[in-house]
């Protein structure tokens, strides 16, 4: 009988010793452990608590696809995030998740997305008017606002006023910052509660739900149809013919705001930074756009034909995946590649490390969009920008369409120049850019 492999352990003492640098940016600490210990290690984060960190592409494929029924999301999403945004697709498990996924999936099919593309494009063009020529700017705030506006337009058309939009954006962002503090400083949990800080942020969530409820009530009362996502959600029916209850509807909408804008803003910011460093790819995309404009005026057709642009975005998400880790807990004990993971273990799969693994990628730290010349399907066992398996991001087609429009519209109007030395990152709940200073010149 083959002897089971032992999983290397990083002690609690070492974790505490490096706690300040982990709080600032945990990725170098984890990379050092991967390089020294291999593709999986156990990190002790308490006297009786540990987390298994993994950059084994085969293991993540096993957990998300081949044996996905034995793996559920950790409390990071099902409890920590859920208390801010409710129980929806992103934060639910089991029968509730299956029921909601089946109900909502049709709203994100490519055919339905065609109704939203003009609203997406209009929102993007409007935000790009804020870009000033020949001035050094941090592009992330503009792209963050733009991504939020596109979610608003796709969900509500013109139903939400600017004051509500600004408030919803403020609440989703400040509550994410609070959640990061809770996750990285769990030893201060008692203080967050006793001081009233946690209560203040939960009150923000209630305010967001109140705003969304008012918008939904106004839409129902008006009986007007806008062909937006809100209409699709209101008209969706379960197998028994019933519609979503109001609380569930509001949870799903707030989760779409939370998950739908920031990851896109992050990915676009990194993409434009990489394009600034590689102007030859700006020229390739520009030439592609010019040719497509001669062939068709249909937005969806242009998106589907923007192959070079898609390659750049896919390579950008390989190097800087917005969802840079995926968390799971195995329900029952499981064995993979000679290792046994006891039931109830916390696992964090590092998408960031898998996407840069030297055994999986040629020149893993180099920007090479041509590696995706034949699409990303050939890398499906090692490339996870939207996750994988049954819980793959429901909005992946929406996000890719939005990003292609955003990149092609910007490159068709501007030349992009870098005003930074290196691409900096801030790993929070998502992988965020830092100091994304760019300069734009008119074409």
Residue 1 has pLDDT above 60, yes or no: no
CATH number at residue 319: 1.10.630.10
Which CA distances in Å does 71 have to 19, 59, 65, 351, 368?
28, 12, 10, 17, 34
Instruction: Note the pLDDT of residue 3.
Output: 59
> 71 lies in a domain?
yes
3-state secondary structure of 39: coil
User: Residue 93: CB partners within 8 Å, gap ≥ 6?
Assistant: 72, 73, 78
Q: Establish if 307 belongs to a structural domain.
A: yes
42 located within any domain: no
- Split into its structural domains, the chain has a count of 1
Residues 6+ apart with CB under 8 A from 140: 265, 269, 432, 433, 436
> Is there a domain that residue 19 lies in?
no
Is the Cβ–Cβ distance between 74 and 327 less than 8 Å? yes
Q: How buried is 143 (Cβ within 10 angstroms: 0-12 exposed, 13-18 middle, 19+ buried)?
A: buried
Residue 101 within any structural domain of the chain: yes
Higher pLDDT, 173 or 433: 433
Is a pLDDT exceeding 80 seen at residue 133?
A: yes
Query: Residue 337 pLDDT more than 80?
Result: yes
Contacts of 48 (CB under 8 A, 6+ apart): none
Mean pLDDT, residues 167-178: 89
**Across-strand partners of 83?**
none
pTM of the full structure: 0.92
- Mean pLDDT within 177-181: 86
pLDDT score for 402: 94
pLDDT value of position 62:
96
Residue 232 within a domain: yes
What is the mean predicted confidence (pLDDT) over 136-150?
A: 92
Name the average pLDDT for the chain: 91
- The answer to whether position 144 is within a domain reads yes
In a domain, 142, yes or no: yes
- pLDDT greater at residue 66 or residue 20: 66
Q: Which residue range forms the structural domain that includes residue 88?
A: 55-128+135-433
Q: Find which of 110-114, 246-250, 265-269 is predicted with most confidence, using mean pLDDT.
A: 265-269
Q: Which of 65-69, 112-116, 323-327 has the lowest mean pLDDT?
A: 112-116
Does the pLDDT of residue 408 top 60, yes or no? yes
């Amino acid at each position: 009988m083959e002897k089971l492999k032992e999983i290397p352990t990083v002690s609690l003492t070492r974790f505490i010793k490096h706690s300040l640098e982990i709080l600032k940016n945990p990725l170098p600490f984890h990379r050092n452990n991967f390089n020294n210990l291999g593709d999986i290690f156990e990190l002790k984060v308490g006297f009786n608590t540990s987390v298994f960190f993994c950059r084994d592409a085969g293991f993540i494929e096993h957990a998300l696809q081949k044996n996905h029924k034995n793996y559920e999301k950790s409390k990071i999403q099902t409890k920590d995030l859920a208390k801010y945004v409710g129980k929806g697709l992103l934060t639910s498990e089991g029968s509730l998740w299956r029921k909601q996924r089946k109900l909502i999936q049709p709203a994100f099919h490519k055919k339905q997305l065609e109704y939203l593309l003009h609203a997406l494009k209009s929102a993007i063009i409007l935000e790009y008017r804020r870009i000033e020529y020949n001035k050094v700017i941090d592009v992330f705030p503009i792209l963050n606002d733009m991504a939020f506006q596109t979610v608003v337009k796709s969900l509500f058309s013109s139903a939400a006023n600017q004051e509500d939009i600004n408030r919803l954006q403020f609440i989703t962002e400040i509550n994410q910052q609070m959640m990061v503090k809770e996750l990285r400083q769990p030893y201060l949990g008692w203080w967050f509660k006793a001081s009233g800080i946690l209560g203040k942020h939960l009150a923000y969530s209630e305010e967001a739900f109140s705003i969304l409820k008012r918008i939904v009530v106004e839409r129902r009362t008006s009986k007007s149809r806008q062909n937006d996502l809100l209409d699709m959600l209101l008209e969706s029916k379960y197998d028994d013919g019933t519609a979503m209850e109001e609380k569930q509807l509001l949870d799903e909408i707030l989760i779409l705001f939370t998950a739908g804008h920031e990851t896109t803003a992050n990915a676009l910011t990194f993409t434009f930074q990489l394009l600034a460093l590689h102007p030859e790819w700006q020229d390739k995309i520009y030439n592609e756009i010019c040719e497509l404009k001669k062939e068709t005026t249909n937005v969806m057709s242009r998106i589907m034909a923007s192959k070079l642009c898609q390659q750049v975005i896919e390579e950008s998400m390989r190097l800087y995946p917005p969802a840079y880790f995926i968390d799971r807990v195995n329900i029952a004990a499981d064995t993979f590649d000679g290792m046994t993971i006891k039931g109830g273990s916390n696992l964090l799969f590092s998408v960031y490390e898998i996407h840069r693994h030297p055994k999986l990628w040629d020149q893993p730290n180099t920007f090479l969009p041509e590696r995706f010349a034949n699409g990303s399907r050939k890398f499906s066992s090692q490339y996870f920008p939207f996750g994988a398996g049954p819980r793959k991001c429901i909005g992946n087609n929406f996000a890719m369409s939005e990003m292609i429009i955003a990149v092609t519209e910007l490159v068709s109007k501007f030349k992009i120049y870098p005003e930074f030395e290196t691409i900096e990152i801030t790993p929070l709940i998502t992988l965020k850019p830092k100091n994304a200073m760019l300069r734009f010149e008119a074409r």
